Amino acid sequence: MCSIESGTVEATRPASSSDYRRRPFGAGIGDWLAFILEAVRHDPSTAPAIIVRALNARLRIRIRPANAVQSGLCSRPTSQVVDSVRYWGQLHSALQRLNWDLDGGRLVEDKLVTSDRYAEHGVAAAPIVAVVGRDESRHPHAGRHTVVHDSATLARVLDSAPPELIAKPAGGSRGGKVRLLQRHGSTWMVDGVTLSTSQLSDRLLADADPMGTLIQPRLRSHPDLTPLGGQLGLCGLRITTAMLKGGPILLFHFLKLMGRPGIVDNFGGGRNGNILASIDERTGEILKAYGRSQGQRFLLTEYSHHPVTGAQITGTRLPLWFEALDLALRAAAVCPECPLAGADIALTEQGPMLLEINAAWDGDYAELTRGVGLKRMLRPIWPELAASEQAKQDAAELLKL
């Protein structure tokens, strides 16, 4: 990795994860050649070590070169690869076994059910204006939010709502199918198309997810985050907790900064143009930040300054940091069905707000930002994890703890 003060972030289309699972070498020969050439172009003096470490990771835990980089394995001693896990076939399966053991699957896969749980316990979460088109016979809920099934009613709701809204499927993941709805006078702008309120209502009902589409006010980043890309979109934290027999604890956390205008902060291995940063838990100070510079497909660039605003990232203290940690612990406490869950929390002017909870999360970003393998994080807490002994045993076998 290289340290720079400014640069341009470029998004590239990710390959399908299923493609990599089907390939015996984890990635095509063309991908490995492209990775090797990129490493050599970046810095011929460091390329041999990076390539050897990526190949070692492939041979030991069967991950492709991009994941080796994203896990920080290309900058750590090769001996540490035994503490890492791959996502498909290991971490994803283990988290499913743990977090779906009771009713956790429904809790985290259905954002409306999650919101109901938070509302029941007074946990601060993004508000919901309306739920559109939910099939309540197949997907029952607590009834705390209005479900709209007809265009006229939805039109009235939209007319009285804030001028900027977010529409996202209650069953969606990774920012998929999220839309920005912007009102200009008596019309709405959606995906570059101008619609009347009735037209927008009809479209939302026609496109509704079976679990419903959530209509929420657009949240804005805390003003202190403006220099770090807060004006580009909503910046968020991923705080992953572990529910132990004595209560929840913090496991790891990282910050997601916007690297270009958008409505989702997903890092996507840097392909989305956004930035991932590690944080000092004791102070809330940003330690390191990573993203992809123009032309990078595999490697990550370490940023000391924001590539768009030019503001310094490293050393900056986050607003509401300790409040966000407390919120994550409170959220974990009211969702004991998910003993290893990742909370997405937005830092807003109104305070930290929960966006959603994730039962399946990416361990490579945890390893990159913590600088150690996920197994090393999990082993000390495993005996006290508040899950059934059978679920823990099954998950431990998958993770090879």
Percent of the chain with pLDDT over 70: 92
Lowest mean pLDDT among 6-20, 75-89, 131-145, 355-369: 6-20
Q: Sheet harboring 147-148: ordered strands across?
A: 147-148, 130-132, 213-217, 164-169, 179-184, 187-190, 193-196
Lowest-pLDDT choice from 1-15, 44-58, 260-274, 381-395 = 1-15
d(CA 28, CA 65): 10
Whether the pLDDT of residue 164 is over 80: the answer is yes
The CA radius of gyration of the chain, in Å to the nearest whole number, is: 21
Instruction: For residue 366, give both structure tokens.
Output: 């945890």
Please tell me the predicted confidence (pLDDT) of residue 174: 62
| Cα 356 from Cα 168, distance rounded (Å) | 12
What pLDDT, on a 0 to 100 scale, did the predictor assign at position 6?
33
Q: What is the pTM of this model?
A: 0.90
For 195-224, the pLDDT digits (tens) are: 999 999 999 999 998 999 999 999 999 999
- Helices then strands, counting H and E runs in the chain, come out as 13, 15
Average pLDDT over residues 282-310: 95
* HEC assignment per residue over 62-102: CCCHHHHHHCCHHHCCHHHHHHCCCHHHHHHHHHHHHHCCC
Closest CA to 300 of 61, 84, 52, 10: 10
d(CA 42, CA 35): 11
Mean pLDDT rounded to a whole number for the chain = 89
pLDDT of 317 > 60? The answer is yes
pLDDT of residue 362: 83
Q: With CA atoms as reference, report the closest residue to 379 among 164, 82, 127.
A: 82
pLDDT mean over 226-241: 95
Measure the CA–CA gap between 352 and 321, rounded to whole angstroms: 9
In which band, very low, low, confident or very high, does the pLDDT at 105 lie, cut at 50, 70 and 90?
confident
Helix axes 389-399, 92-99, angle to 10 degrees: 180
The amino acid occupying position 282 is: R
pLDDT in tens, 320-373: 999 999 999 999 999 999 999 999 999 999 999 999 998 888 899 999 999 999
Q: Could you tell me the pLDDT band of residue 173, with boundaries at 50, 70 and 90?
A: low
Exposed, middle or buried by CB within 10 Å (0-12, 13-18, 19+), for 120? exposed
CB 367 within 8 A of CB 71: yes
pLDDT band at 101 (very low <50, low <70, confident <90, very high): confident
CB 216 within 8 Å of CB 127: yes
Stretch 280-304: mean pLDDT: 95
Buried-exposed string 293-308: b where 16+ CB fall within 10 A, e elsewhere: beebbbbbbebebbbb
Q: What is the reported pLDDT for 109?
A: 86
Q: How far is CA 362 from CA 186, 188, 238, 266, 385, in A?
A: 42, 36, 10, 11, 19
The HSE-up count of residue 385 (CA atoms within 13 Å, CB side) is 27
What is the pLDDT averaged over residues 165-183? 86
